């Protein structure tokens, strides 16, 4: 099970470079609208650094001038100046914190919006290749990391570099000898940082990898909790979870040990450096070669010198994670949508609803996008080997494994047809192509004589109402799930349609009826209730073409009677395509198309096909016996 987690999340855990100029250049494109804010943040950080550097120097002057020389007016003035600098420093820190938080949130908002908009425009083939969890991670975790880079990382690094440079300059100005003594110890930080950061980096990578496996295992087991309980898998699943959790525990422990050792090393070096400054500086004060106030100020600078260096080392992991996140986010943004609108789309006014498939061929891509049932069907009939099926090629000539082959038929406006066939024969693929979720490889599909590739996708799908076997219900209210945010659909219209398809039989029994809350994925509704709700949703948009894809295959007899009654009503005056396994439910359609191995084998009415005693006759006899 842990191996499963690795295969699913390995690409999420590969860490990138600490700094990538190309990626940073693209990221700064999102800063461009807020350059003024970014410049203000840098200015405030610079001002804060100056205020900090002034503080210890004022302390030294207070000691040497105000205290040792007993200059009371100067003491008061210097103390007042010190207090003013402290208050100003606090104010600058407060403002800069808010400015940086605003900057990071705005950049994150823009990136999230652009990424979500891009995902909305991607074709279904893209989602076939990318698991939902991975895409959610891109929009949340990865963009959150980039937000940290801009709100904390870059400005903090700028602050630390300026702070180190300022400290070195001020310390050399105060006493070059003591500065060399302090820096001689600080130089030992370089090999120590390189050693420990390599260890911490590997431990950090292991933590993320193990955490991804934990999340994957949790999501899978929570989703399949019914199966777990049914087969008494609780203890076994706990053992598997503990194995993954133990790996996460050990990775965290290693990270803590390495991080603690690094901090301890810096602390020891700081103590040694301060000790040397105290020893040599104290001797100089005793010999009157250096003033007491200068020595105290220098000691203060030395105590703070190691802080920005340690902070720079800590930002190593942040920059590395940010570069990896940027690479993953831009990889999605750079992926073009396969299904796009034409440059000059043909306008689609009120349509009649005529449909024509002209010699349509279609194959799913070779990277295992082919639906499992389609590949299974080809395997069952001995056309390909398992390995070749996964690659999407036949054994004989390595040509694409076509799911549909030379499909040609037409549907008149207002005509109702049914498409039948064994699992994986290509029935649902016909619907996917008609909706232009995928584009055909050969041939063309026409609506009212217009190639659907010449139409805007939104206008095409506006004319269609689709009821799927697996109904997706959104969280929100019943009304939200019917009108999907369309303001022109009134509550009265929803009530009328719900009554028409008998969905009102359960909606009006809910506590708040149409304003009643719907749980995630509609788990509190039965399969039949979700199906009736889907019927209401499809009809609320008054489609000219109605598509029912196995709409009655998973519901009880009573609900099916409701839907069958609704189907008889709603297909009148509409072009209707019905995909069904239950052949008894399609007796009254105008024509039936029989698809077998991706080819159109038979066309006719229910009785005509029975009289032919072909594929449809065999399917019907099998169901009749069952």
Half-sphere exposure of 506 (CA within 13 A, CB side): 17
Contact 373, 329 (CB under 8 A): no
pLDDT score for 400: 66
Residue labelled with tokens 């090999």? 191
Segments forming the whole domain that contains residue 254: 186-267
Number of domains in the chain: 1
pLDDT digits (tens, 9 = 90+) for 285-330: 887 788 888 888 888 888 888 788 777 777 776 777 777 778 778 8
Q: Please, which residues have CB within 8 angstroms of residue 38's CB and are 6 or more apart in sequence?
A: 31, 103, 150
Q: Is 55 exposed, middle or buried (0-12, 13-18, 19+ CB in 10 A)?
A: middle
pLDDT score for 604: 87
Using the 8-state DSSP alphabet, how is residue 393 labeled?
Answer: B
Domain membership of residue 607 (yes or no) is no
Quote the percentage of the chain above a pLDDT of 70. 85
CB atoms within 10 A of CB 437: 16
pLDDT digits (tens, 9 = 90+) for 56-83: 888 888 887 878 777 788 888 888 888 8
pLDDT of 401 higher than 70: yes
Contact 598, 591 (CB under 8 A): no
- Among residues 340, 329, 328, 330, which one has the least CA distance to residue 121? 340
Banded pLDDT at 549 (limits 50, 70, 90):
confident
Residue labelled with tokens 């920005």? 308
Domain membership of residue 248 (yes or no) is yes
pLDDT score for 289: 80
Domain membership of residue 246 (yes or no) is yes
Q: What are phi and psi of 519, to 5 degrees?
A: -70, 165
Greatest mean pLDDT among 139-153, 275-289, 315-329 lies in 275-289
pLDDT of 2 higher than 70: no
Supply 91's token pair.
Answer: 């104010």
Question: What pTM, to 2 d.p., does this model score?
Answer: 0.68
Supply 439's token pair.
Answer: 């584009």
Domain membership of residue 226 (yes or no) is yes
Domain membership of residue 571 (yes or no) is no
pLDDT of 381 higher than 60: no
CA–CA separation, 38 vs 36, rounded Å?
5
Burial letters for 357-373: b for 16+ Cβ neighbours within 10 Å, e otherwise? Answer: bbebbbbbeeeeebbee
pLDDT of 242 higher than 70: yes
CB atoms within 10 A of CB 39: 10
pLDDT score for 314: 72
Domain membership of residue 425 (yes or no) is no
Banded pLDDT at 377 (limits 50, 70, 90):
very low
Greatest mean pLDDT among 15-29, 301-315, 390-404 lies in 301-315
Domain membership of residue 567 (yes or no) is no
CA–CA separation, 107 vs 101, rounded Å?
10
Q: Give Cα separations from 365 to 18, 122, 390, 400 (angstroms).
A: 36, 16, 10, 8
Q: Is the torsion defined by CA of 13, 17, 19, 25 positive or negative?
A: negative
Using the 8-state DSSP alphabet, how is residue 369 labeled?
Answer: T
pLDDT digits (tens, 9 = 90+) for 566-594: 677 767 778 888 887 777 677 778 888 88
Contact 516, 478 (CB under 8 A): yes
Mean pLDDT of the 42-48 span: 85
pLDDT score for 618: 85
Burial letters for 559-585: b for 16+ Cβ neighbours within 10 Å, e otherwise? Answer: bbebbeebbeebbeebbbbbbbbebeb
pLDDT score for 378: 36
Quote the percentage of the chain above a pLDDT of 90. 0
CA–CA separation, 29 vs 19, rounded Å?
16
Domain membership of residue 199 (yes or no) is yes
């Amino acid at each position: 099970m842990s191996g499963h987690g690795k295969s699913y999340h390995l690409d999420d855990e590969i860490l990138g470079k600490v700094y990538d100029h190309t990626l940073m250049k693209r990221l700064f494109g999102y800063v461009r609208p807020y350059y003024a804010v970014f410049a203000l943040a840098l200015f405030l950080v610079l001002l804060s650094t100056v205020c900090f550097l002034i503080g210890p120097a004022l302390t030294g002057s207070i000691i040497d001038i105000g205290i040792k020389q007993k200059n009371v007016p100067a003491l008061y003035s210097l103390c007042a100046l010190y207090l003013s600098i402290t208050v100003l420093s606090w104010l600058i820190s407060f403002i800069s914190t808010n400015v940086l938080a605003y900057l990071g949130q705005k950049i994150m908002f823009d990136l999230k919006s652009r990424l979500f908009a891009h995902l909305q425009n991607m074709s279904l083939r893209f989602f076939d290749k990318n698991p939902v969890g991975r895409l959610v991670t891109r929009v949340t975790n990865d963009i959150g990391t980039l937000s940290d880079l801009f709100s904390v990382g870059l400005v903090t690094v700028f602050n630390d570099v300026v702070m180190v440079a300022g400290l070195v300059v001020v310390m050399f100005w105060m006493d070059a000898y003591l500065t060399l003594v302090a820096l001689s110890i600080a130089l030992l930080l370089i090999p120590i940082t390189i050693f420990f950061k390599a260890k911490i980096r590997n431990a950090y990578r292991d933590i993320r990898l193990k955490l991804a496996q934990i999340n994957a295992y949790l999501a899978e087991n929570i989703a399949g909790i019914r199966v777990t309980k049914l087969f008494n898998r609780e203890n076994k699943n706990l053992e598997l979870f503990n194995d993954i959790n133990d790996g996460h525990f050990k990775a965290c422990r290693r990270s803590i040990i390495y991080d603690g050792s690094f901090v301890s090393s810096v602390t020891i070096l700081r103590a040694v450096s301060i000790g040397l400054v105290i020893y040599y500086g104290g001797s100089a004060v005793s010999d009157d070669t250096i003033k007491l106030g200068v020595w105290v100020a220098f000691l203060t600078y030395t105590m703070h010198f190691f802080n920005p260096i340690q902070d720079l080392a800590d930002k190593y992991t942040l920059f590395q994670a940010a570069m990896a996140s940027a690479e993953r986010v831009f990889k999605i943004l750079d992926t073009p949508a396969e299904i796009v609108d034409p440059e000059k789309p043909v306008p689609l006014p009120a349509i009649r609803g005529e449909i024509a498939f002209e010699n349509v061929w279609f194959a799913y891509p070779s990277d295992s996008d082919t639906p499992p049932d389609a590949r299974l069907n080809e395997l069952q009939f001995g056309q390909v080997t398992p390995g070749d099926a996964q690659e999407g090629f036949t054994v004989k000539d390595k040509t694409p494994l076509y799911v549909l082959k030379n499909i040609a038929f037409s549907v008149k406006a207002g005509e109702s047809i049914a498409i039948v066939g064994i699992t994986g024969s290509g029935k649902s693929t016909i619907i996917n192509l008609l909706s232009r979720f995928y584009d055909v490889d050969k041939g063309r599909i026409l609506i009212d004589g217009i190639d659907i590739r010449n139409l805007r996708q939104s206008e095409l799908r506006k004319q269609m109402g689709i009821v799927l076997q697996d109904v997706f219900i959104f969280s929100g209210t019943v009304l939200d799930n019917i009108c999907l945010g369309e303001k022109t659909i009134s509550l009265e219209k929803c009530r009328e349609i719900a009554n028409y398809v008998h969905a009102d039989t359960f909606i009006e029994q809910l506590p708040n009826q149409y304003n009643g809350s719907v749980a995630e994925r509609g788990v509190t509704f039965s399969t039949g209730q979700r199906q009736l709700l889907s019927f209401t949703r499809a009809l609320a948009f008054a489609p000219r073409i109605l598509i029912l894809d196995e709409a009655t295959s998973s519901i009880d007899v009573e609900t099916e009677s409701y839907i069958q009654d609704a189907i008889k009503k709603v297909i009148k005056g509409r072009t209707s395509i019905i995909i069904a396994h239950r052949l008894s439910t399609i007796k009254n359609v105008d024509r039936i198309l029989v698809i077998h191995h991706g080819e159109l084998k038979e066309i006719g009415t229910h009785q005509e096909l029975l009289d032919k005693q072909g594929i449809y006759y065999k399917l019907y006899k099998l169901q009749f016996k069952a």
